[in-house]
Chain A
Amino acid sequence: MTFRGRHLLGIEPLHPMEITTILDLADEYVGLSRSRSKHSDVLKGLTQINMFFENSTRTQASFELAGKRLGADVMSMQMQASSIKKGETLIDTALTLNAMHPDLLVVRHPHSGAVDLLAQKVNCAVLNAGDGRHEHPTQALLDALTIRRAKGRLHRLNIAICGDIAHSRVARSNILLLGKMENRIRLVGPPTLIPSGAADWGVEVYGDMKEGLSGCDVVMMLRLQKERMDGGFIPSEREYYHRFGLDAAKLAVAKEDAIVMHPGPMNRGVEIDGTIADDINRSVIQEQVEMGVAVRMAAMDLLAQNLRAEAA
């Protein structure tokens, strides 16, 4: 079985075999990225447009680099600066785009479901680069690839996802993906940052870091956004760091070889202690960035193959 979708809108519609297909191809692209030439022509002649309706540096750079390494013509548009302010609706934007004949469209939008809506109206393959609090599929895929390479497998692992689950699309996509691959998932955080329906997702919920991290193989930290601190979700930054920030004492209850992950950008001293983030024996945060480019190359390659098959 290969990857069959027309778009990559989320982890939710993917079959475990499709996830494995993407990860296997991404593994090959890690090799390409590490080689001297770093270049392939699989997307030659195709146009990739990155549309970011929300600020992003890392994800956008990663998609741009992935497209360029595969030979696509890449254009990035900062949407929050342009048409949105002029009152253009998402549908109008889609129609404008259709006239430019892109083949791959990478979209990030602040509202859940907005990328699905756009995908219904455009003629090309759409990759979701994050929609509201809904999904961020390429982040979950790059996390999965990082875990698989570090642990040698992607099943029967104890994985703790810690912090602001409620507002995190990274958490949702990861819960879906890691669940599909049959891992044991724990959510750890203050109750104000755990969504009210989370207990029904087939995960374990912990309000205490040490209980939640006890014996786990992977510790996945999430970014605590500044607006959450101001929004009354937690009493203060220092209390949050004291109770939920990852430091050596809390990490000590995890397995000895447990890895530490973070989707970036990090708030050192808020959700994670700087020395742990920099500990090359525990932290795989730099690998995550590297895997990001490879996973995005794989996803775009597979979508382009499906586009060609559809045209033929």
Chain B
Amino acid sequence: MTILFKNARLIDPEAGSDAPGWLVVSDGTVTQLGTGEPPAAGEVVDCAGKCLAPGIVDIGVKICEPGERHKESFRSAGLAAAAGGVTTMVTRADTLPAIDTPEVLEFVTRRAAQDSPVRIAPMAALTKERAGREMVEIGFLLDAGAVAFSDGDTVTGDTKVLSRAFTYARSLDALVIAHPQEPGLSAGAAVTSGKFAALKGLPAVSPMAERMGLDRDIALVEMTGVKYHADQITTRRALPALERAKANGFDVTVGTSIHHLTLNALDVGDYRTFFKVKPPLRSETDRLAVIEAVASGLIDTISSFHTPQDEESKRLPFEEAASGAVGLETLLPAAMRLYHAELLTLPQLFRAMALNPARRLGLPGGRLSAGAQADLVLFDPDAPFVLDRFTLRSKSKNTPFDGQRMEGRVLGTWVGGERVYGG
């Protein structure tokens, strides 16, 4: 079975190119690409000049199975991902209970295979119950299919525990993903400190807490040699430390979130809890510095940090409300804001959303060359719409983009050559 995608605008993050052409998929693999007259094929998809890119690999998706299926299930998240052009969800371990044993991981893998139309690459916790006291069975969990080890946004304060876990992970060549944040300084904070936070009377954290967390983690990487990825770098002050670590040749990569690239601290306005995320939204100066770091390649990945929360968790006074926002369906249109503002090109965006995450996790996706896995997204970067949160496929509707004008519509999503959305 071969499929020809003709009249496409091919976005190839590996080559850094954005050019018209055609692409042939057979048996779930990209086999041929070219310009000019396309070959014949069993099925033809006319892309009508729209963009064809590798499917998004989203690191850090929270699916609330096991534990809170009323917030999100593998089915609802999978449908949302397909509609958002996300072909691999790298899932978080901060469920109830945490994914910290091979048995729970097997449950997750089985549920994902039954229900999700897109691929799942599960992460496991780094410490048991994410409590920061004992490391998990890293070896068994690797065998069961864990792609990385992370306690989510919980920071282990005990550096000795962490150094042992890093050392052990290093011996198995396992990737560790951490949340860089100094836990004492950021305790209880709901927003980033500054004029606005002080006026609104909300407990605030200095942006410096992120740099302190990153500094400690980098020192541990130097000590142990572990493969390390920081989930979210969102402040200007953390960037020089990162630059030095990379220049020193440490095995360090970092990500950032689409919300920190497109929103800032002032968006919280009159205590709008859909804008409460972790770490909190930053200043405009930080936002612009982080975008520049994505453009230069200093920051490697962009993710949605999809975090479903039900209405009850958000309809509370700001300090008491839960953190997090859904993002699987809005990641691509939000990223298009950066494209239309001419801050990032489409190949740069897909390098950060598809190629780099896949590479870092050792997954086959994220590429658009011959021999690549045929995980593809076809989208119109210019199609305008106003987001209505109740049209989202996620069970939870907590998006900060509700009612906002956006551009960028997914027209079709393919996983291994199978169409899972559109058409």
Contact = CB atoms under 8 A, between A and B. Distances in A.
B204 interface: yes
Nearest to A13: B270
B250 interface: no
A112 interface: yes
B201 interface: yes
A172 B316 CA distance: 22
Interface residues of B, number: 21
A117 B195 CA distance: 22
A91 B315 contact: yes
Interface stretch (A31-39, A193-201, A217-225, A249-257): A193-201
A114 B199 CA distance: 15
A186 interface: no
A111 B204 contact: no
A112 B315 CA distance: 14
A155 B204 CA distance: 33
Contacts of B204: 196
Contacts of A166: 198
Contacts of A89: 312, 315-316
A199 to B, nearest CB: 8
Interface stretch (B58-66, B150-158, B317-325): B317-325
Interface stretch (A40-48, A68-76, A128-136, A275-283): A128-136
B88 to A, nearest CB: 37
Which of A89, A109, A111, A197 is the most central at the interface, judged by chain B CB atoms within 10 Å of its CB? A111
Contact of A200 (B195, B201, B312, B319): B195
Contact of B201 (A90, A117, A133, A198): A133
Contacts of B320: 111
A112 B197 CA distance: 11
Contacts of B270: 113, 116
Contacts of A262: none
Contacts of A112: 200-202, 271, 317-319
B339 interface: no
B168 interface: no
Contacts of A117: 271, 315-317
Interface string B314-352: 011111100000000000000000000000000000000
A109 B318 CA distance: 12
Contacts, number: 71
Contacts of A133: 201-202
Contacts of B194: 196-197, 200
Nearest to A118: B317
A132 B201 contact: yes
Contacts of B319: 111-113, 132
Contacts of A196: 193-194, 197-198, 204, 206
A116 B320 CA distance: 14
A197 B200 contact: no
A112 B271 CA distance: 8
Contacts of B206: 196
A311 B135 CA distance: 65
Nearest to A198: B198
B284 to A, nearest CB: 14
A195 B271 CA distance: 19
Interface of A: 12, 89-91, 109, 111-114, 116-117, 131-135, 166, 169, 172, 195-198, 200-201
10 contacts: A89-B312, A112-B202, A113-B200, A117-B271, A132-B317, A132-B319, A134-B200, A196-B197, A197-B195, A200-B195
9 closest cross-chain pairs (CB), A and B: A133-B201, A113-B271, A197-B195, A195-B198, A134-B201, A111-B317, A114-B317, A112-B201, A197-B198
Given A112-B271, A113-B271, 9 more contacts: A112-B317, A114-B317, A117-B315, A132-B201, A134-B200, A134-B201, A196-B198, A196-B204, A200-B194
